[in-house]
């Protein structure tokens, strides 16, 4: 079964191989998964040019008897840095190896459009391409970033777990299900305190 992580890894490996074998006139200094925090990522000591890849989801899966047919979105982010500033980082330098973000974008499109990366997926289709607006962190680092989106199609197969001891599994499942149900029905400590404090106690009538 095709795994999302395998596709992300294949994107990065294919891009690096293109640089190391001279298919493109430069090598990637950084090739990694999409960072959680771009400001933190750009503040690190990175090697340039850089490429990141990430899975973007599959918004409209088609359910089939064998699983689900999905059109999965992936984003590739390329970045270049130039000491002369953001414009030079975008357009590149006077020599081919001093690539700018625009050149990186063009190379990535050429490398991946119509490519299945040797996996059991449909050929990559080019999606929207957007230039990341300059932030304070980008300006400080002197970098330019562009996002290239691709879509591919594949079958997300149903899981077929192999239970060596089905009776043990079903027994444990029933126990955990009961524990979760009980925990949900019991009031939390503060709720229990409120119930006690707000309860009206019976009083004896004065004779």
**In a domain? residue 96:** yes
Give the residue from 145, 127, 121 showing the smallest Cα distance to 135. 145
**In a domain? residue 82:** yes
Q: If residue 7 lies in a helix (H) or strand (E), which one and from where to where?
A: helix 4-20
168 has pLDDT over 70: yes
> What is the model's pLDDT at position 158?
75
**In a domain? residue 34:** yes
**Token pair for 159:** 């899981």
Q: Give the 3-state secondary structure of residue 125.
A: strand
Cα(58)–Cα(37) distance, integer angstroms:
23
Provide the phi-psi class of 70: left if phi over 0, else alpha when psi is between -120 and 50, else beta. beta
> What is the model's pLDDT at position 92?
60
Cα(25)–Cα(96) distance, integer angstroms:
6
**In a domain? residue 163:** no
- Bridge partners (DSSP) listed for residue 73: 57, 151
**In a domain? residue 123:** yes
Full domain range(s) for residue 78:
4-157
**In a domain? residue 92:** yes
**8 A C-beta contact, residue 142 and residue 60:** no
> Sign of torsion, CA 153 119 117 73?
positive
In total, how many domains does the chain have?
A: 1
Read off the pLDDT of residues 67-124 as tens digits, 9 standing for 90 and up: 788 999 999 999 988 665 555 566 665 666 667 889 999 999 999 999 999 999 999 9
Per-residue confidence band for 142, with pLDDT thresholds at 50, 70 and 90: confident
**8 A C-beta contact, residue 86 and residue 144:** yes
Per-residue confidence band for 207, with pLDDT thresholds at 50, 70 and 90: very low
Higher pLDDT, 10 or 185: 10
CATH code of the domain covering residue 140: 3.30.2000.10
Q: Give the 3-state secondary structure of residue 178.
A: helix
Please give the model's pTM, rounded to 2 decimal places: 0.74
**In a domain? residue 167:** no
**In a domain? residue 169:** no
H-state helical runs in 21-97: 38-43, 86-91
Cα(82)–Cα(103) distance, integer angstroms:
13
């Amino acid at each position: 079964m095709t795994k999302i992580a395998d596709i992300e890894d294949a994107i990065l490996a294919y891009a690096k191989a293109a640089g190391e074998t001279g298919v493109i006139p430069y090598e990637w200094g950084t090739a990694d998964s999409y960072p959680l925090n771009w400001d933190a990522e750009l503040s690190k000591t990175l090697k340039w040019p850089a490429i990141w890849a990430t899975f973007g989801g599959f918004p409209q899966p088609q359910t089939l008897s064998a699983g689900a047919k999905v059109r999965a979105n992936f984003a590739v982010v390329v970045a270049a840095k130039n000491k002369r500033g953001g414009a030079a980082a975008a357009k590149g330098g006077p020599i081919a190896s001093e690539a700018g973000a625009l050149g990186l974008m063009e190379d990535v499109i050429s490398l991946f459009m119509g490519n299945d990366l040797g996996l059991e997926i449909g050929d990559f289709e080019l999606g929207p391409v957007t230039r990341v607006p300059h932030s304070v962190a980008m300006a400080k680092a002197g970098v330019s970033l562009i996002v290239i989106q691709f879509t591919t199609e594949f079958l997300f197969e149903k899981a077929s777990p192999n239970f060596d001891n089905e009776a043990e599994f079903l027994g444990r499942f029933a126990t955990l299900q009961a524990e979760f149900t009980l925990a949900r029905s019991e009031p939390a400590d503060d709720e229990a305190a409120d119930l006690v404090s707000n309860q009206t106690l019976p009083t004896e009538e004065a004779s």
